[in-house]
Amino acid sequence: MREVSKGSPKGEFYGAQLSLYCGQSADCVNEGIDIPHYTPPTVSLRPAPDPSKVSRIALRHGFSSPLAPSILAVRGFEPESEALERFLNPTLATLPDPFRMLGFRGALEEFLRYAQSKRPIFLMGDYDCDGITSVLQVHHFSLSLGIKTVPIFPVRSVHGFGMHKEIIAQALAKHGPGLIITFDYGIKNNREIEYAKSLGFKVVVFDHHYVGESRCNADYVVCPGQSGCGFEDNILCSSGLAYLFVSALRERLNAGHKVDMGRYLELSALGTIADMVPLLGTNRAIVKGGLEHMSSTSWPVFSEILRIQRGAPVWASDVAFGLQPHINAVGRLGDVNQVAMGLLTSDMLTALEVSEKLDTFNLERQSLERSCANDVLRDLGRASALPDVIVRSGTGFHPGVVGIVCSRLVELYRRPALLFAEKDGVLTGSGRSIPGFNLIEALCGCSDLFLKFGGHPAAVGATLVKDNLPQLQKALSAAFCMERSLGKVALPAIEVDLSLSLQDITPEGVLELYRLDPFGVGNPPPVVRISGLCVERKDRFGTFRDHTSFVLTDGSSRINGVQWHWERGGVRVGDRVTAVGTPVVSRFSGQVELDIEVLTVE
């Protein structure tokens, strides 16, 4: 469900659509600010499904409404196929053998050697959900078996992304040399790794970011994207790798009777959803299993934030727009080290205190995003035309929120965006891309402009001097135009699965759509087109009154429509419209009702 802050008129959460590619939960606002250079997205309608296939899917898999079977049919699933069976019923029993992964066996053996000799083991993770949940899985598992590990996270405002010599030196001074295991970074930290080795540390890297031609000089590297690996088509994030690592340790140590793997499945599902990796194959099995466990979660902090009745289903959108932004907000604005262990508490009072801290960070994050987004919109409004790649910087931008604002800009304008916070002539920022434009490769093509950079095709982080920003704008625009001229990239269209009437949207049918969950990258939420509607009412809601709600009617039935963030389309009460969006179930104060999350209005 989409995040709405505590105390807002609609409650803490509301039904939500996961972005198709790179969107993350963000509550930006533009109330009172026009959206410059906005053009409605192109809408593409899939061919109508074969009625015979729809009926056979419904019969074989127990659907009572044709809605979900129709979605499956138009997306190419055959009624009797194993692919459809695996999609609807993913199982952890089919998880791949992690020992096929390059470096995995050596990493596990190194961990066990240090554990058995009781030498220090440092778990160093990134400050986002993927890094945090990776470290917490291995740390909690180790504690349950009496193995001491030391979790350490960088502070974004002090250290930035990746390994840092200061953190390594502090670990040495406090604990002596030992084994460093990094999660969600390290693949590009050869200088820091060499420094650690010179002090007597061994280094293992668990990462999933872009490797390129360079070779990481850690003792063992577990990264599916490295040359000679290609494990699971390189779709796992670090949290998924950590789950496989803990599973292998459990089996190796014969610790099945001591360890509840469901707890770690929840953490891995959170990290996987948050990191926007494809929710297919192994990732789908991990997330599906984790969400099932989360309905009766073992982590009280999760329960406090989600506020969903125990035993009720938890959907990917609940995590993406509830848990994830609260936890990520700490890494964006504060020090993860101060709250990370609190996420593992079993004490309800402590869990309440931790959740309140997270909510405070999240409210601040929303406010900073709002300011940054509005500044960017004003700046774009002063330009004569919208650039092919949006590149902007500002002294008032907070480096912890620019990535989310980039996601909102990509969602709004359907083109890549990079934003940088400026301080003392140095720019630190993030970028997000669209399908077909490999952003990390584009940055590699102008690598001489950066002090440092990293990431993957859809998202990057970078640091450069301010004077290089105009050259970066030119280089990225040229790369984008080249890719577009070659037919490799086009501005994304909204792909509509079905054209329906309002009468086709029933509670039973929409609830059955959640059997297709988790939705996200690789499995976008269903999108329908409903014509013949009239706007009966229109309101704003949310902490900053940045979201728009509608009551839509066809004359005999009604449905609530919701448009998140910037209002698009200029709809007025009394207008006749066609709504394009995702049917969802919203849960508020124990009540269940149907909404359509409006992507565009025709």
Name the CA radius of gyration of the chain, rounded.
24
pLDDT value at residue 24? 36
pLDDT at position 414 over 70: yes
- pLDDT tens, position by position, 337-382: 999 999 999 999 999 999 999 999 999 999 999 999 999 999 999 9
Q: How confident is the model at residue 547 (pLDDT cuts 50, 70, 90)?
A: confident
Average pLDDT score over residue span 254-265 = 88
Residue with tokens 């953490």: 267
Q: Say how far apart CA 321 and CA 237 lie, in whole Å.
A: 19
Portion of the chain with pLDDT greater than 90, in percent: 76
pLDDT value at residue 27? 33
Q: What is the fold, at CATH topology level, of the domain defined by 2-23+35-87+493-601?
A: OB fold (Dihydrolipoamide Acetyltransferase, E2P) (2.40.50)
How buried is residue 262: exposed, middle or buried, by Cβ count under 10 Å (0-12/13-18/19+)?
Answer: middle
Which one of 3.90.1640.30, 3.60.20.10, 3.90.1150.10, 3.40.50.720 gives the CATH number of domain 102-228+238-257?
3.90.1640.30
Q: Are 176 and 201 in contact (CB under 8 A)?
A: no
pLDDT value at residue 135? 98
Sort strands 547-553 and 558-563 into parallel, antiparallel or unpaired. Answer: antiparallel
Q: Say how far apart CA 540 and CA 372 lie, in whole Å.
A: 21
pLDDT value at residue 492? 86
Of 573 and 210, which is predicted with more confidence? 573
CATH architecture of 367-485: Roll (3.10)
Three-state DSSP at 294 gives: helix
pLDDT at position 74 over 60: yes
Question: Considering only 25-34, 372-381, 525-534, which range has the smallest mean pLDDT?
Answer: 25-34
pLDDT value at residue 203? 98
Integer CA distances (angstroms), 288 to 208, 259, 280, 293, in order: 21, 20, 10, 9
Of 256 and 478, which is predicted with more confidence? 478
pLDDT at position 21 over 80: no
Residue with tokens 């409006």: 598
Portion of the chain with pLDDT greater than 70, in percent: 93
β-pair partners for 585: 594
Q: Taken in order 53, 56, 59, 62, is the CA torsion positive or negative?
A: negative
Domain boundaries, the chain: 2-23+35-87+493-601, 102-228+238-257, 367-485
pLDDT at position 58 over 80: yes
Average pLDDT value for the chain: 90
pLDDT value at residue 212? 75
Q: Taken in order 108, 112, 115, 119, is the CA torsion positive or negative?
A: negative
pLDDT value at residue 209? 85
Q: How confident is the model at residue 506 (pLDDT cuts 50, 70, 90)?
A: very high
Average pLDDT score over residue span 156-180 = 94
- Strands, DSSP E only, in 71-178? 121-125, 150-152
560 is written with which tokens? 């609530």
Q: Say how far apart CA 469 and CA 488 lie, in whole Å.
A: 25
Give which of 218, 228, 234, 189 is closest to 96, Cα–Cα: 234
Average pLDDT score over residue span 439-447 = 95
Question: Considering only 72-81, 227-236, 367-376, which range has the smallest mean pLDDT?
Answer: 227-236
Q: Say how far apart CA 297 and CA 382 lie, in whole Å.
A: 49
Q: Say how far apart CA 40 and CA 56 lie, in whole Å.
A: 37
Residue with tokens 């990264």: 223
Burial 381-398 (b: 16+ CB within 10 A, else e): eeeeeebbbbbbbbeebb
β-pair partners for 228: none
pLDDT at position 402 over 50: yes
pLDDT at position 298 over 50: yes
Average pLDDT score over residue span 488-503 = 92
pLDDT value at residue 588? 65
pLDDT value at residue 181? 98
pLDDT at position 30 over 50: no
Three-state secondary structure readout of 214-254: CCCCCCEEECCCCCCCCHHHHCCCHHHHHHHHHHHHHHHCC
- pLDDT tens, position by position, 177-192: 999 999 999 998 999 9
pLDDT at position 581 over 70: yes
196 is written with which tokens? 């650690």
Burial 69-98 (b: 16+ CB within 10 A, else e): bbbbbbbebebeeeebeebbebeeeebeeb
Three-state secondary structure readout of 365-405: HHHHHHHHHHHHHHHHHCCCCCCCCEEEEECCCCCCCHHHH
Give which of 16, 36, 12 is closest to 24, Cα–Cα: 16
587 is written with which tokens? 């849960």
